[in-house]
Structure 1
């Protein structure tokens, strides 16, 4: 397996391969990370790893990149994550490639990154201005029946979108264009569906594309059935999710 050591950016959300991640970076440890990434030549990827914070663990101030005035006054690369930071994070994350890192006048950063590859955390180190992690790349296996499952997931996803938008009696005049490659479908649906972090993390960790699609099909059918029986559902703009289609 391929291993690498990269800067670690913990979030309270899940990043998937192929999806775009916009970040507003205010906290000093992550500013330091971005300053270091800017030293990388433009011709090379500016990579860091995104991991989701486990439920029940203290979130460090501005862990998602935003300032938190109620956060603990703790300082340092592992602030808010305890004596053993790796225990605060889910074990599978995603490498992000920062296509744009723009420094503002106040020293904060506007970052636009794209998820690329799933990785497993092997160790976390706090011996610099920000956390770094040794990571093992997770190969992407297709699994059996992924093509047919992707078709079923797309049908279920369209029905789910209509329910979320409150379109109970009418059909969409122009259905949105969606991909048909099973792996892309699996990650797009995982990112766009309104699910909690543990459910999204389970989808990220799926053993192969077919397994992820099977799980999504079950989740979409279940969620659509629940929404159908609600008295009213406000319109939801899926493009406002933390990650969006590249």
Structure 2
């Protein structure tokens, strides 16, 4: 699986990072049966520690709801795990579960359905209404009852209302799907190809600025359709969870790709200017 080098992404007001270890596959990830910790070293983002330590103690239990009425025929109950990160469909996320209530949740999931909702939450914006299902594709229970997990993003969902908050959050959710096309009739293939081109240019210039060989970037789409590709691009915007959450919530693939294209175009302009400065002042 191709990996992206870590590079800065620039918008008019923010700097983002491409996550060097974000991958998307069309089938369930398979690994050897060695230790899951060695697997996590391969899949985890570049920052340390390698695994997110999953404790929601720092977050309030109260969840703001969208105010939409419950629709029993269209909703299911889903355990929720609020975290300061955004999971996208198809993305791989390593987790360490050590807080007691979430260890309880894991024991239940192992006996029933290995899926739970990961939803973004921070102290300033509160809990989001849109999240992504994480399916446990690999897990290891330690002697102290902690768990190491490898999760893969599946369907997106919107929280309709909370069912309970103890011992962990459970909510009624409804599934989200992207609209088939953009409002202006945009060609999704053209937009996806444009985004891929900008990503390749950004990676090339970033390598140049970092003194790395300017190798030709491999195929980033890997035969992905535009919608899963738009999720892949969003998952690479490391260090900007609010922007990632905004991308996750969009229900139009064309709008998501256009927003990502604009961010990458701004990044390319920024890196082009930085490269020109470096050419004039090589020692700076």
State TM-score, norm by structure 1.
Answer: 0.73
Quick check: which has more Rg, 1 or 2?
A: 2
Match 2:120 to one of 23, 34, 52? 52
**Structure 2 contact 204–216 (Cα < 8 Å) conserved:** no
Other-structure match for 2:99: 27
Residues 1-246 of structure 1 aligned to structure 2 (within 5 Å)? 2-40=74-112, 45-56=113-124, 88-144=126-182, 145-166=187-208, 171-173=214-216, 175-180=218-223, 181-230=225-274
Task: Identify if the C-alpha distance between structure 1 residues 31 and 163 changes in structure 2 by more than 3 Å, giving closer, same or farther.
Answer: farther
Deviation at 1:192, TM superposition (A): 1.0
Moved more, 207-216 or 156-165: 156-165
Offset of residue 141 of structure 1: 1.9
Change (3 A) 1:229 1:30: farther
TM-score (norm 2): 0.64
- What RMSD, in angstroms, separates the aligned Cα atoms of the two structures? 2.2
Residue 167 of structure 1: CA displacement? Answer: 5.2
Q: CA deviation at 1:39?
A: 0.9
- Displacement of 1:174 in angstroms is 5.5
Query: Which residue pairs with 2:19 in the alignment?
Result: none
Superimposed CA distance per residue, residues 117-153 of structure 1 (whole angstroms, 9 cap, x where no aligned partner): 1111112244432111111111222313211100000
Higher relative contact order (CA 8 A, sep 6+): 1
Structure-2 change in CA distance of 1:56 and 1:172 (3 Å): same
**CA shift at 1:32, angstroms?**
1.1
SS at 1:56 equivalent: coil
- Provide the C-alpha distance between the structure 2 equivalents of 1:208 and 1:116, rounded to a whole number of angstroms: 17
TM-aligned CA deviation for residue 116 of structure 1? 0.8
Which residue of structure 2 aligns with residue 76 of structure 1? Answer: none
Deviations 1:25-79 (A, max 9, x none): 1111111111111112xxxx4110010004516xxxxxxxxxxxxxxxxxxxxxx
